Amino acid sequence: MLQPTPHPGVLKITPYVSGESCIPGVDVVAKLSANENPLGPSPRAVAAYSAAADGLHCYPDSHATALRRALGRRYDLDPNRIICGCGSGDILSLLGHAYAGSGDEIIYSQHGFLLYALITHSVGATPVVASEEADLGGLRTSVDAVLASVTPRTRIVYIANPNNPTGTYLPAGEMARLHRNLPPSVLLVIDAAYAEYVGEKDYTAGIELVESGPNVVMTRTFSKFYGLAALRLGWAYGPSAVIQALNRIRGPFNVSTPAEAAGIAALEDTAYSACTRAHNEKWRAWVTAQLRALNLVLTESVTNFVFARFPIDKGYDSIGADAFLRRDGLIARRMESYHLPQWLRISIGRDSDMHLLINSLTEFLKRKDAA
Residues of the chain with pLDDT under 70: 16, 19, 134-138, 368-371
Assess whether 224 and 170 both reside in one domain. yes
Assess whether 100 and 221 both reside in one domain. yes
Other CB atoms within 10 Å distance of the CB of residue 183: 10
Assess whether 133 and 236 both reside in one domain. yes
Q: Choose one of 240, 269, 298: the last residue of a domain.
A: 269
Q: Choose one of 269, 299, 317: the last residue of a domain.
A: 269
Assess whether 187 and 238 both reside in one domain. yes
Collapsed DSSP state (helix, strand, coil) of residue 92: helix
- Residue 113 counted as domain residue: yes
- Residue 250 counted as domain residue: yes
- Residue 353 counted as domain residue: yes
Contact 257, 52 (CB under 8 A): yes
Q: Write out the residue range of the structural domain in which residue 284 sits.
A: 8-31+271-370
- What CATH number does the domain containing 298 carry? 3.90.1150.10
Tally DSSP H helices, then E strands, for the chain.
12, 15
Torsions phi, psi for 233 (to 5 deg): -135, 125
Torsions phi, psi for 364 (to 5 deg): -60, -45
DSSP secondary structure letters along 25-88: TBSS-EE-SS---TT-S-HHHHHHHHHGGGGTTSPPPTT-HHHHHHHHHHHT--GGGEEEESSH
- Residue 1 counted as domain residue: no
Assess whether 63 and 198 both reside in one domain. yes
Assess whether 203 and 231 both reside in one domain. yes
Assess whether 181 and 300 both reside in one domain. no
Q: In this predicted model, what pLDDT tens digit does every residue of 59-108 receive, in sequence order? A: 999 999 999 999 999 999 999 999 999 999 999 999 999 999 999 999 99
b/e for 84-113, b at 16 or more Cβ within 10 A? bbbbbbbbbbbbbebbbeeebbbbbbbbbb
- Residue 3 counted as domain residue: no
Give the pLDDT score at 136: 46
Assess whether 305 and 237 both reside in one domain. no
Contact 305, 347 (CB under 8 A): yes
> How far from each other are the two terminal CA atoms of the chain, in whole angstroms?
59
Q: Choose one of 269, 304, 321: the last residue of a domain.
A: 269
Assess whether 242 and 345 both reside in one domain. no
Check residue 182 and report its DSSP letter: S
What pTM, to 2 d.p., does this model score?
0.94
Evaluated on CA atoms 89, 135, 14, 306, the torsion sign reads negative
Check residue 20 and report its DSSP letter: P
- Residue 2 counted as domain residue: no
Q: What is the CA angle 190-74-189, rounded to 5?
A: 10
Assess whether 240 and 348 both reside in one domain. no
Assess whether 241 and 223 both reside in one domain. yes
Contact 266, 44 (CB under 8 A): yes
Q: From CA 371, how far away is CA 369, in angstroms rounded?
A: 6
- Residue 335 counted as domain residue: yes
The residues, any chain, with a CB within 8 Å of residue 72's CB and separated by 6 or more, are 78, 79, 82
Strand partners, 234: 85, 221
Give the pLDDT score at 275: 98
Strand partners, 236: 83, 219
Q: In this predicted model, what pLDDT tens digit does every residue of 158-217 receive, in sequence order? A: 999 999 999 999 999 999 999 999 999 999 999 999 999 999 999 999 999 999 989 999
Residue spans of alpha helices (H) in the chain: 43-51, 65-75, 88-99, 115-122, 143-148, 172-181, 207-212, 240-249, 257-268, 270-293, 318-327, 351-370
Contact 303, 167 (CB under 8 A): yes
- Residue 38 counted as domain residue: no
Number of domains within the chain: 2
Q: From CA 355, how far away is CA 323, in angstroms rounded?
A: 18
Assess whether 242 and 324 both reside in one domain. no
Give the pLDDT score at 282: 98
- What CATH number does the domain containing 100 carry? 3.40.640.10
Q: Assign residue 188 a region: left if phi > 0, alpha if psi is -120 to 50, beta otherwise? A: beta
